[in-house]
């Protein structure tokens, strides 16, 4: 099976500095891939290259074997949606208006939303457990509520690939689990392909079927959580002493940190 999105020796970054220094990665339909790695290892930049917000300097990114640079922006937005770490909206749009904006790539310029668009927005808000927020103004919500609204907007785009950049970093553990459970359900039930940048190694190991551990702009190792989350890999990349055990409930690897310096 050919991969859904393929990255081939991709190099890119900001201004003069390359942050991603040659990443090759295959993303298959139905994957739930976690990108992990220390601060500054190029995780978010890699995601920005995948959303086309940054153009690669070298290397090739393809979606369904089509070069990313050649895809028309609106058609790309119908296939790939993005959820940032946090969204700060300074205009008092209602939650419903924000979610409906996910339909922009599907609508013509002067076309107004149809019943189907409203129904999709309703459904997405239901899925993310945010239906009760519908009439509220976005700038009145808590970080957790806002994030659920933003995910609902991404779902309304009806993407095949969902990219998320540390979507849980402002949430408490309860909300983190709720959100990741939602993503897992979407991945299992609708076959939505997910690529997520996560800081928490244990959450990454728990939810993702594959992990890519990054170091200094390159993929250090890529594979199943069991293959990636070994104490050797983690100690070598994070320069921290850790112990890896098995999560007694899920059987996935579990990383325990130690205060001892490496």
- Between 23 and 81, whose beta carbon lies closer to another protein? 81
Distance CA 257, CA 242 (A): 5
Give the burial class of 142: count Cβ atoms within 10 A of its Cβ; 0-12 exposed, 13-18 middle, 19 or more buried. Answer: exposed
Give the length of the chain: 262
Name which of 55, 41, 37, 25 is nearest 161 in CA terms.
25
- Between 92 and 223, whose beta carbon lies closer to another protein? 92
Distance CA 134, CA 61 (A): 37
The least distance separating another protein from the CB of residue 167, rounded to whole angstroms, comes to 14
Distance CA 197, CA 238 (A): 16
Q: Say whether 26 sits in a helix, a strand or coil.
A: strand
The least distance separating another protein from the CB of residue 180, rounded to whole angstroms, comes to 21
Give every CB contact of residue 104 below 8 A, 6+ residues apart in sequence. 77
- Between 55 and 132, whose beta carbon lies closer to another protein? 55
The least distance separating another protein from the CB of residue 190, rounded to whole angstroms, comes to 20
Distance CA 186, CA 101 (A): 21
The least distance separating another protein from the CB of residue 82, rounded to whole angstroms, comes to 4
CA distances from 206 to 46, 99, 198 (A): 22, 29, 11
CB 83 within 8 A of CB 165: yes
The least distance separating another protein from the CB of residue 140, rounded to whole angstroms, comes to 8
Residue 11 tokens read as: 């190099």
The least distance separating another protein from the CB of residue 116, rounded to whole angstroms, comes to 17
Q: Which residues bind another protein (CB under 8 A)?
A: 51-53, 73-78, 81-82, 84, 87-94, 97-98, 101-102, 104-105, 107, 109-110, 112, 140, 157
- Between 157 and 176, whose beta carbon lies closer to another protein? 157
- Between 27 and 81, whose beta carbon lies closer to another protein? 81
Pairing of strands 80-83, 66-67: unpaired
Distance CA 21, CA 11 (A): 5
- Between 77 and 213, whose beta carbon lies closer to another protein? 77
- Between 85 and 240, whose beta carbon lies closer to another protein? 85
The least distance separating another protein from the CB of residue 53, rounded to whole angstroms, comes to 6
């Amino acid at each position: 099976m050919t991969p859904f999105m393929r990255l081939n020796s991709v190099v890119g970054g900001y201004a003069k500095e390359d942050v991603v220094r040659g990443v090759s990665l295959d993303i298959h339909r139905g994957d739930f891939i976690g990108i992990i790695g220390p601060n500054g290892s190029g995780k978010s930049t890699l995601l920005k290259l995948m959303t086309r917000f940054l153009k690669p300097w070298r290397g090739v990114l393809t979606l369904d074997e089509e070069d990313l640079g050649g895809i028309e922006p609106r058609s790309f937005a119908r296939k790939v949606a993005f959820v940032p770490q946090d969204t700060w909206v300074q205009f008092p749009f209602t939650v419903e208006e924000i979610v409906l904006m996910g339909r922009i790539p599907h609508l013509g310029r002067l076309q107004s939303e149809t019943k189907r668009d409203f129904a999709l927005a309703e459904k997405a808000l239901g899925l993310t457990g945010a239906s009760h927020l519908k009439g509220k103004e976005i700038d009145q919500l808590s970080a957790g509520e806002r994030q659920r609204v933003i995910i609902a907007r991404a779902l309304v785009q009806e993407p095949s690939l969902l990219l998320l950049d540390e979507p849980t970093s402002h949430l408490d553990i309860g909300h983190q689990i709720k959100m990741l459970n939602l993503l897992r359900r979407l991945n299992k039930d609708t076959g939505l392909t997910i690529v997520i940048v996560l800081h928490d190694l244990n959450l990454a190991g728990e939810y993702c079927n594959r992990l890519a551990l990054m170091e200094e702009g390159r993929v250090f190792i890529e594979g199943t959580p069991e293959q990636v989350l070994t104490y050797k890999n983690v100690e070598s990349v994070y320069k921290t002493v850790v112990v890896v055990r098995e999560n007694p409930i899920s059987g996935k690897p579990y990383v325990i940190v130690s205060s001892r310096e490496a």
